[in-house]
């Protein structure tokens, strides 16, 4: 499976940043051309959004917030971790394992780019 | 799941919206215009952030400051003989403590760029306020009736109720703190009236400091 590095991904997204103020359809197409698939999936978008307003969240707190099962959250969190969007730390509180997630700088930038894409799409439609 | 299936087909990190169904891929959403789906995504992000921001609504450092004020008030109140001075000390401590706690919440919200009037903050305030208002009214009524002896129990019980109600929209440790206040209030109901300063010092002082340290360490300030 061919993997793209996080750095390349960010560069691609920045290059494809939409220019607002053009004819609706074309701008919408450009705005959507580099939509980040990693963050676009709803559960992953929920994880990143929740972590954006918190310093850190434990696995159980995230599970409650995004209303996911253990397995589902685990899979999607790992995907975000592989992309470099979130960082995971595992510690022990006494004998109980504790998994904590934080949003990385790359993850915050990815969320900001995603928000810009969504806003560009809406703007383009209004100008049509 | 549609998204997962698509990811299995291609290894591209980005995908054009021309080929993309929205995050909640169902028959209805696929037929919706792009801008509607974009609006839906923005609303989802906002809702998630609003739910998650409840975890940072309370300031642990503010609670520590409130606890120190209460301990100082307990020390001064323990040597008071006058009813009116005893009450004035605790009312002054409540005003100073509330101001410190409120300022700490504002500071923490600004530092974390969390809106103060977000949904969880409003819900916290709506849950917290009614028992506090009832406490203020009962303070006036009980003092007039000469029943000062039960005031510590009433304050602890109602403050605990307020914290439990408001804390439902905050981090799990907050309602636990409220229950501790209520338990102490229940003990205070059967304790000698002369111990009032001690009960209030333990509750508003030590409980605030203890839980404040836990919240500051665990929830970033």
Report the C-alpha gap between A24 and A38 in whole angstroms: 26
Set of chain A residues whose Cβ sits within 8 Å of the Cβ of B114: 53
Planar angle of CA A74, B219, A93, nearest 5 degrees: 60
Q: Which of A70-74, A78-82, A121-125 has the lowest mean pLDDT?
A: A121-125
- The whole-model pTM stands at 0.57
Confidence of residue B29 (pLDDT cuts 50, 70, 90): low
Give the tokens for residue B167: 């804390």
Report the C-alpha gap between B27 and A33 in whole angstroms: 23
A55 to chain B, closest Cα gap in Å: 7
Write out pLDDT tens, residues B69-87.
Answer: 999 999 999 888 888 999 9
C-alpha neighbours within 13 Å on the C-beta side of residue A121: 24
Task: Give the other-Cβ count within 10 Å of A30's Cβ.
Answer: 18
Write out pLDDT tens, residues B104-152.
Answer: 988 887 777 666 776 777 888 889 999 999 999 999 999 999 998 899 9
What ipTM did this prediction achieve?
Answer: 0.72
Q: How far, in whole angstroms, is CA A128 from its chain's centroid?
A: 28
How high does pLDDT run on average in chain A?
78
Whether B75 contacts chain A with CB within 8 A: no
Task: Give the other-Cβ count within 10 Å of B147's Cβ.
Answer: 13
Set of chain A residues whose Cβ sits within 8 Å of the Cβ of B45: 45, 49, 111, 115
Which of the residues B7, B48, B55, B220 would you substitute to probe the A interface, choosing the one with the greatest number of A C-beta atoms within 10 Å? B48
Closest CA to B173 of B120, B126, B215, B119: B215
Residue A56 has pLDDT above 80, yes or no: yes
């Amino acid at each position: 499976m061919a993997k793209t590095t996080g750095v390349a991904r960010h560069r691609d997204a920045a290059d494809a940043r939409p220019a607002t103020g053009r004819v609706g359809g074309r701008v919408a197409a450009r705005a959507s051309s580099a939509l980040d698939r990693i963050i676009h999936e709803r559960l992953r978008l929920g994880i990143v959004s929740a972590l954006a307003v918190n310093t850190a969240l434990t696995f159980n707190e995230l599970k409650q917030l995004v209303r996911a099962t253990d397995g589902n959250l685990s899979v999607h969190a790992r995907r975000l971790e592989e992309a470099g969007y979130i960082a995971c730390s595992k510690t022990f509180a006494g004998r109980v394992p504790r998994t904590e997630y934080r949003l990385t700088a790359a993850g915050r930038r990815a969320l900001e780019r995603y928000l810009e894409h969504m806003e560009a799409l809406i703007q383009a439609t209004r100008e049509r | 799941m549609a998204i997962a299936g698509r990811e299995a087909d291609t290894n591209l990190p980005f995908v054009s919206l021309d080929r993309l169904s929205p995050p909640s891929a169902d028959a209805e959403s696929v037929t919706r215009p792009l801008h509607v789906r974009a609006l839906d995504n923005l609303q989802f992000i906002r809702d998630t952030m609003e739910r998650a921001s409840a975890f940072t609504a309370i300031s642990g450092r503010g609670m520590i400051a409130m606890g120190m004020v209460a301990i100082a008030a307990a020390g001064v109140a323990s040597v008071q003989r006058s009813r009116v001075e005893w009450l004035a000390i605790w009312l002054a401590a409540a005003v100073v403590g509330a101001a410190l706690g409120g300022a700490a919440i504002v500071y923490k919200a600004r530092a974390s760029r969390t809106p103060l009037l977000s949904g969880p903050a409003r819900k916290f305030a709506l849950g917290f306020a009614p028992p506090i208002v009832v406490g203020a009214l009962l303070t006036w009524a009980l003092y007039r009736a000469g029943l000062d002896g039960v005031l510590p129990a009433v304050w602890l019980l109602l403050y605990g109720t307020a914290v439990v109600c408001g804390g439902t929209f905050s981090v799990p440790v907050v309602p636990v703190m409220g229950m501790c206040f209520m338990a102490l209030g229940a003990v205070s109901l059967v304790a000698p009236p002369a111990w009032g300063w001690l009960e209030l010092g333990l509750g508003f002082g030590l409980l605030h400091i203890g839980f404040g340290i836990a919240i500051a360490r665990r929830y970033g300030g």
